[in-house]
C-alpha cells in the first residue's frame, strides 16, 4: 500500500532515458524541508537502488514574481536548517544564486536522473516544463505539499468546499500516515560545487539583487524548528478553543502555520498527525481549514489557469458583478491610498497595518479586507488586482495558492449567490457592523495601533 500511495504522488515529466553518471539529483524548490518530504525520500530511494549518492540542489533567483526581502529572509532562515539537517544525513545540499531551472539543467549533466517536488503556480510549472524539455535524463515530479495529491482528490475544478469535502475526506485514511526516513547508502558530502553561502543570512541577503521595499519581519522567523514550536504551542494552548475563538482577531488562537506551509518548511501530513494525536475538541475545525480548505485552493490553482484574475471567477459571480459595475461607490481609493492604510475605515486600516508590519493578517479580517477592496474600487477586475498586489507584497504567505484563492473568494469563488445588493450584486457582503457583532472591533484597532506604533510607515 505504501508504494501505491507513493506512486499516486509521482509524475514522469519527460521520456528521457536513465543515465549512468555521478549522482541522483533532487531539485528542491517547493518542499523546503528535510523531513516528511516525499520527493526527498523518493530521491534517496532511487539513489540507493542505483548505488549512487544523492545531491540536493536549490536555486535562488532574484526575480521571483512579487517576492521581496521579507520573503527571501524568511526563506533563507529555513534553508539554513535544511542544509544542516541534510548534512547530518550525509547529503550534500548545493544552494546557488541562480535561477532554479538553469541550475537544475546544469547539475543534471552529472546526474543519472532528477527528482523534483511539485509547485502549482504558473512560474513553478513553467520551470519544471522548461527543465523537462532540456535535460537528457528523466525528470520525476513527486508531490509533497498536500496530503492527497490534487488529481487523486478530484479530476476537475470543484465548485465549493461542499463538493470537494466528501471526495477528499474518504481518501484521507490512505494518505495520512507517518513517514519513515530512508538513510542514504553513500555519502555525497565529498562533492564540491560552486555555491551560495547562507550561513550568515544578513550577509547573504545583501548579496541578492532583490526588491528591498519591504523589510523582514523582526519577531517571526523561518525554519522547520520554528514551525514545530509554533505548532506545539498551538496544540497545547489554543487548539481546544480554536472552534470558538479562531475568528476573534483580538485574541491569538491561530496556528501560525501558513507561512511555513507556503515555503514548504513543514509538512501538512506532519501537522495533521500531530493535531489528531492530541485528540482535542478543536481537531475537526482545524483540519477542515488545513486540509479541505487548503487543498481546495490547490484544486483551484491546478485546474483554473486564470486563477489570478477576474476571468478566473465562476460565471455567476462575473455576471452579477458586471451587472453592478456602474453602481455608485460612496468611497473610491487608489492603490497608494490602500497601501498606506488611508481609507475612512479604521478597521480596514488596521488590517492593512497588521499585514505591513507583522507579515500576517488575521484570517477573518483578511476576508473583510478583501470585501472592502471590492466595494471601494471602480471595477472588480481592478479590485482583484489591488488585493493580490498588496497580499503578495506584504504577507509572508503571499504568492500562495491560499492567497490567490482567498482573494478570489472575496469576489465569489467557492461561494454561493446571496441576496442582491448594490455593487456586490449576489456576491457575499461584509460590513463593519458584522465585525462588531462578532468581537470587540475597536479593541482590534487598538491592538494593531499598539503593535505598529500607530503608523504603517514605522515598518520601513
The pLDDT assigned to 451 comes to 82
Confidence grade of residue 171 (pLDDT, cut at 50, 70, 90): very high
Nearest CA to 324 out of 269, 274, 383, 279 is that of 383
How far is Cα 247 from Cα 439, in angstroms, rounded to an integer?
8
Q: What is the arithmetic mean of pLDDT over 215-224?
A: 96
Report yes or no: 408 and 399 within 8 Å, Cβ to Cβ: no
Report yes or no: 61 and 100 within 8 Å, Cβ to Cβ: yes
Q: What is the DSSP letter of 288?
A: I
CATH number at residue 433: 1.10.579.10
How far is Cα 362 from Cα 350, in angstroms, rounded to an integer?
11
How far is Cα 367 from Cα 430, in angstroms, rounded to an integer?
8
Residues 87 and 154 in one domain: no
Residues 312 and 451 in one domain: yes
How far is Cα 286 from Cα 226, in angstroms, rounded to an integer?
20
**Residue 212 covered by a domain:** no
Domain finish residue from 303, 319, 347? 303
Q: What is the DSSP letter of 425?
A: B
Residues 104 and 171 in one domain: no
Three cell numbers, residue 355:
499585514
The pLDDT assigned to 2 comes to 58
Angle at 172 between CA 170 and CA 178, to 5 degrees: 160
pLDDT, tens digit, for every residue of 313-329? 999 999 999 999 999 99
| Residue range of the domain that includes 353 | 306-459
In terms of DSSP H, where are the helices of 217-362?
224-237, 242-245, 258-262, 268-278, 283-287, 294-303, 315-323, 335-339, 346-358
pTM over 0.85: yes
> Half-sphere exposure of residue 178, counting CA atoms within 13 Å on the CB side?
7
CATH number at residue 93: 3.40.50.620
How far is Cα 387 from Cα 323, in angstroms, rounded to an integer?
21
The pLDDT assigned to 213 comes to 96
pLDDT, tens digit, for every residue of 257-276? 999 999 999 999 999 999 99
Report yes or no: 390 and 382 within 8 Å, Cβ to Cβ: no
The pLDDT assigned to 3 comes to 59
In terms of DSSP H, where are the helices of 10-160?
38-49, 69-88, 100-108, 122-134, 150-153
The pLDDT assigned to 456 comes to 40
The pLDDT assigned to 459 comes to 36
CATH number at residue 227: 1.25.40.80
User: Over pLDDT 90: what percentage of the chain?
Assistant: 96
How far is Cα 198 from Cα 177, in angstroms, rounded to an integer?
33
Q: Provide the domain count of the chain.
A: 3
Residues 322 and 392 in one domain: yes
- Say how many residues make up the chain: 460
In terms of DSSP H, where are the helices of 50-121?
69-88, 100-108
pLDDT at 460 over 80: no
pLDDT, tens digit, for every residue of 380-410? 999 999 999 999 999 999 999 999 999 999 9
Domain finish residue from 255, 276, 303? 303
Domain finish residue from 303, 331, 351? 303
How far is Cα 208 from Cα 201, in angstroms, rounded to an integer?
11
For β-strands 111-117 and 54-59, DSSP reports them as unpaired
Amino acid at each position: 500500500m505504501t508504494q501505491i500511495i507513493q506512486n499516486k504522488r509521482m509524475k514522469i515529466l519527460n521520456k528521457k532515458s536513465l543515465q549512468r553518471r555521478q549522482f541522483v539529483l533532487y531539485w528542491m524548490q517547493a518542499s523546503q524541508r528535510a523531513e516528511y518530504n516525499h520527493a526527498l525520500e523518493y530521491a534517496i530511494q532511487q539513489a540507493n537502488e542505483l548505488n549512487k549518492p544523492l545531491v540536493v540542489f536549490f536555486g535562488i533567483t532574484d526575480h521571483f514574481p512579487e517576492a521581496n526581502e521579507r520573503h527571501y529572509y524568511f526563506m533563507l532562515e529555513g534553508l539554513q536548517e535544511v542544509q544542516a539537517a541534510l548534512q547530518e544525513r550525509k547529503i550534500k545540499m548545493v544552494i546557488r544564486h541562480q535561477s532554479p531551472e538553469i541550475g537544475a539543467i546544469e547539475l543534471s549533466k552529472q546526474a543519472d536522473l532528477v527528482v523534483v517536488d511539485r509547485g502549482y503556480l504558473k512560474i513553478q510549472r513553467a520551470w519544471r516544463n522548461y527543465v523537462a524539455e532540456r535535460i537528457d535524463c528523466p525528470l520525476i515530479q513527486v508531490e509533497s505539499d498536500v496530503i492527497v495529491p490534487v488529481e487523486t482528490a478530484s479530476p476537475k475544478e470543484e465548485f465549493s468546499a461542499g463538493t470537494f469535502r466528501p471526495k477528499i475526506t474518504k481518501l484521507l485514511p490512505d494518505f495520512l500516515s507517518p513517514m519513515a526516513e530512508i538513510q542514504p547508502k553513500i555519502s555525497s558530502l565529498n562533492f564540491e560545487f560552486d555555491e551560495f553561502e547562507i550561513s550568515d543570512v544578513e550577509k547573504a541577503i545583501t548579496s541578492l539583487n532583490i526588491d528591498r521595499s519591504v523589510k523582514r519581519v523582526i519577531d517571526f522567523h523561518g525554519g522547520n524548528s520554528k514551525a514545530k514550536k509554533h505548532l506545539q504551542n498551538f496544540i497545547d494552548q489554543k487548539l481546544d478553543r480554536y472552534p470558538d475563538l479562531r475568528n476573534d482577531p483580538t485574541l491569538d488562537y491561530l496556528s501560525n502555520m501558513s507561512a511555513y506551509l507556503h515555503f514548504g518548511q513543514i509538512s501538512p501530513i506532519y501537522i495533521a498527525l500531530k493535531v489528531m494525536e492530541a485528540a482535542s475538541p478543536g481537531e475537526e475545525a482545524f483540519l477542515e481549514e488545513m486540509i479541505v480548505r487548503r487543498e481546495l485552493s490547490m484544486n483551484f490553482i491546478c485546474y483554473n489557469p486564470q486563477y489570478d484574475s477576474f476571468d478566473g471567477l465562476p460565471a455567476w459571480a462575473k455576471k452579477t458583478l458586471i451587472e453592478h459595475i456602474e453602481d455608485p461607490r460612496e468611497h473610491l481609493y487608489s492603490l497608494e491610498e490602500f497601501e498606506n492604510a488611508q481609507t475612512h475605515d479604521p478597521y480596514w486600516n488596521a488590517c492593512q497595518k497588521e499585514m505591513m508590519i507583522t507579515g500576517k493578517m488575521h484570517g477573518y479580517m483578511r476576508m473583510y479586507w478583501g470585501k472592502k477592496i471590492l466595494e471601494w474600487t471602480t471595477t472588480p477586475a481592478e479590485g482583484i488586482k489591488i488585493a493580490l498586489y498588496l497580499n503578495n507584497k506584504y504577507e509572508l504567505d503571499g504568492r500562495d495558492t491560499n492567497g490567490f484563492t482567498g482573494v478570489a473568494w472575496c469576489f465569489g469563488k467557492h461561494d454561493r449567490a446571496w441576496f442582491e445588493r448594490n455593487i456586490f450584486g449576489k456576491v457575499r457582503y461584509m460590513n463593519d457592523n458584522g465585525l462588531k457583532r462578532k468581537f470587540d472591533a475597536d479593541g482590534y484597532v487598538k491592538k494593531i495601533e499598539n503593535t505598529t506604533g500607530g503608523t504603517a510607515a514605522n515598518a520601513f
